[in-house]
Amino acid sequence: MGGGATGGATPAWSVLPDEWKGLLVERGLRAFRADQILHALYRDYITDWDQATTLPKDLRESLKREFPIAPAEEVGCDTAPDGTRKLLLKMHDGELVETVIIPVYAKGGGSETVRLTQCVSSQIGCAMGCTFCASGANGLVRSLRADEIVAEVMAARKYGTLTNLVVMGMGEPFANYDETMRALKLINAGKGPNLGARHITLSTCGVVPGFERLAAEGLQFELSVSLHAANDELRDRLMPVNRRWPLAELLAACREYTLKTKRIITFEYTVIEGVNDSRECAEELARRVREVPMAKVNLIPLSPVDHRPGLRTPPEATMAMFLDVLMKRHVQTMIRRSRGKESQAACGQLRARRRMEGAG
């Protein structure tokens, strides 16, 4: 349980809708209040119990004590020319977390609505140490609690309606499995924010035990796997996690996952100039990915990072060559461009900047 259920306070945003009744009773509070509480939290979107005016004052005081709401404070917002926004959020202990929102403007019935795809962080920093990734450049600070991941979603609400959520910000979700899963179950819950499971995507660098756990949940979340190299020699160098769980083990876990859940896995392949961008690399990628039934590939041109100036974005022709090789091998492939590059909105870069400026 996020925040610890025994004795101390339990963050309100870490309680699953089904758990409210039991927790209220345990604390001598009236179970029938659960629905009003859920309505206040996830229909009225209160950020302070005093805003829950349907509840009696003494109950609000108890809720403040027992189930505090801890909103994240927006301390920075960078907007890229393409509209992508990167929010820098301050957590209760002063640590900074990044979340990125990608708005899509939809006109209908005379009014304009804004639909958001949001990318949330699961940890502050990251222990995985992938060479091309800014989030891991300074190691792991700490994991986020479930309610802090929910707080990221709540902080983005004022910019529009959440329609897709991806756990592709800072951190490795399978290295913070319980809290991440609790947050996603809450966000998915009908009496919570009610975001459909198929609109929620987890991305892992290949922490193998997570696959079996996720398959056992019986949920419909989407799963992405960051591959970036299709042989152990190269992957060991780019992603230290590969030394613990090499490709054969990772692909076997992917295979089992797809067979058990009948769900697609999307492999992410970030193309880095002169590193993993040869025709042989593309051929090898096609071959290995085909070991997994129902696999798709997303090709992503590297987003340059400050701490590794030697790593460069490949030219368009390289991306086209990769796409061509994979398509000829009948691998379903898309080229994805990371939006918001202009505002350093990709991959742990805003927080890294802040730290350098001494504001973190």
Residues that bind ligand SAH (CB under 6 A): 130, 132-133, 168, 172, 203-205, 226, 268, 270, 300, 302-303, 305, 338, 347
**Of residues 156 and 166, the one with the C-beta less far from ligand SAH:** 166
Q: What's the rounded Cα separation, in Å, for the pair 278 and 267?
A: 18
Identify whether the C-beta of residue 75 lies closer than 8 Å to the C-beta of residue 86.
no
DSSP H helical ranges for the chain: 20-26, 34-42, 57-66, 146-156, 177-188, 209-217, 232-238, 241-244, 247-261, 279-289, 316-328, 349-357
**Of residues 204 and 343, the one with the C-beta less far from ligand SAH:** 204
Q: Please name every residue paired with 123 in a beta bridge, in sequence order, or none if there are none.
A: 143
Q: How far is CA 66 from the centre of its chain?
A: 28
**Of residues 305 and 345, the one with the C-beta less far from ligand SAH:** 305
Interacting residues of 93 by C-beta distance below 8 A, sequence separation 6+: none
Two structure tokens written together for 296 = 């798709």
Compute the least distance from the CB of residue 254 to ligand SAH, in Å.
13
Compute the least distance from the CB of residue 19 to ligand SAH, in Å.
28
For the chain, helix (H) and strand (E) counts, in that order, are: 12, 12
Compute the least distance from the CB of residue 59 to ligand SAH, in Å.
40
> Is residue 98 among the annotated active site residues?
yes
Compute the least distance from the CB of residue 270 to ligand SAH, in Å.
4
Identify whether the C-beta of residue 152 lies closer than 8 Å to the C-beta of residue 97.
yes
Residue 88 is given by DSSP the state E
Compute the least distance from the CB of residue 138 to ligand SAH, in Å.
14
Identify whether the C-beta of residue 198 lies closer than 8 Å to the C-beta of residue 29.
no
30 CB-side CA count, 13 A: 10
Of 119, 130, 281, 347, which one is the catalytic site residue? 347
Compute the least distance from the CB of residue 128 to ligand SAH, in Å.
6
Q: What's the rounded Cα separation, in Å, for the pair 201 and 203?
A: 7
What is the DSSP track for 126-152?
-SS--TT-GGGTT-EEEEPPHHHHHHH
**Of residues 52 and 225, the one with the C-beta less far from ligand SAH:** 225
Strand, helix or coil for residue 352: helix
**Of residues 205 and 215, the one with the C-beta less far from ligand SAH:** 205
**Of residues 100 and 154, the one with the C-beta less far from ligand SAH:** 100
Of 19, 98, 316, 342, which one is the catalytic site residue? 98
Strand, helix or coil for residue 356: helix
Which positions are catalytic? 98, 347
